[in-house]
Amino acid sequence: MATTDADPWDAVLAHLTRPADRAPPKRPAPGTRPVAVARSGRPYTAKPETIRLLKERASNNRRLYAVTFDDDGRYGSHLEFVGVEQNDSGSWKISGAAGGAGTPPHRDKPWINLAGWWGANRFCAGGQVLGTNDAHSVRLTSRDGTTLEDDTDAGIVLFLADRELQLPVTLEMRDHAGHTIASQLDFETPD
């Protein structure tokens, strides 16, 4: 069911707190490595009193939010990136969401734990900065040369574009002086 509202943040809240779409998948066995998956639907219901806005970005008729929340107990704490889009009548609806629950993966080097969605006329991605406190900004460069940048406020980066970007993307973490301290290739797709 599509969630629409007159205010973009209200659409996000309605989306996060509506009843779960289906039974949750099984959790990974203890001691096994978590694996990224793509799925439709939402297997959780956020507890409204725990929803916290970490960061947001806007571009024309789109908004991208980084939020944390606790669910009804199945998964625990979540970090999620939620996108909303304004339609011609002025209502806001959810355009996509990505993220995860539990403890972020451990990294021995600086890393962006990136999640997102994309398609015709859009690119939305967010990530948590891991393995460093020295990153001041992150530059994302797509295969077609499009460059997006964001600061690392709240330990989060958000990238929002009103066009399709060619994948994969390169992420460069930069310090306060603008020097690259780490880079990574992400959203690799099979050819």
Q: What share of the chain is helix, strand, coil (3-state, %, to 5)?
A: 10, 45, 45
The reply to whether 28 falls in a domain is: no
**Res 189: pLDDT:** 72
Q: Over 90: is that where the pLDDT of 43 sits?
A: no
DSSP one-letter code for 11:
H
- Percentage of the chain with pLDDT > 70? 86
Mean pLDDT of the chain: 88
**Res 29: pLDDT:** 62
Kindly state the tokens that stand for 22: 């289906």
Q: Which of 81, 103, 125 is the last residue of a domain?
A: 103
- If we measure between CA atoms, which residue out of 85, 21, 78, 83 comes closest to residue 51? 78
109 and 169 together in one domain: yes
CATH of the domain at 1: 3.10.450
The reply to whether 87 falls in a domain is: yes
**Res 1: pLDDT:** 44
Handedness of CA 182, 187, 190, 191 (dihedral sign): negative
Handedness of CA 98, 125, 6, 79 (dihedral sign): positive
The reply to whether 27 falls in a domain is: no
Q: Whole-model pTM?
A: 0.86
Q: Over 60: is that where the pLDDT of 91 sits?
A: yes
- How many CB atoms lie under 10 A from the CB of residue 15? 21
**Res 40: pLDDT:** 57
Name the residue range of residue 99's domain: 1-22+44-103
23 vs 20, 45, 103, 174, CA distance in Å? Answer: 8, 11, 21, 41
| Number of domains forming the structure of the chain | 2
* Average pLDDT of the residues in 71-76: 79
Residue pair 160/123 in contact (Cβ under 8 Å)? The answer is yes
Strands 122-130 and 137-142: unpaired
Residue pair 46/70 in contact (Cβ under 8 Å)? The answer is yes
pLDDT in tens, 130-145: 999 999 999 999 999 9
6 and 59 together in one domain: yes
177 and 115 together in one domain: yes
* Average pLDDT of the residues in 158-171: 96
* Average pLDDT of the residues in 166-189: 94
Strands 122-130 and 52-59: unpaired
Q: Over 60: is that where the pLDDT of 34 sits?
A: no
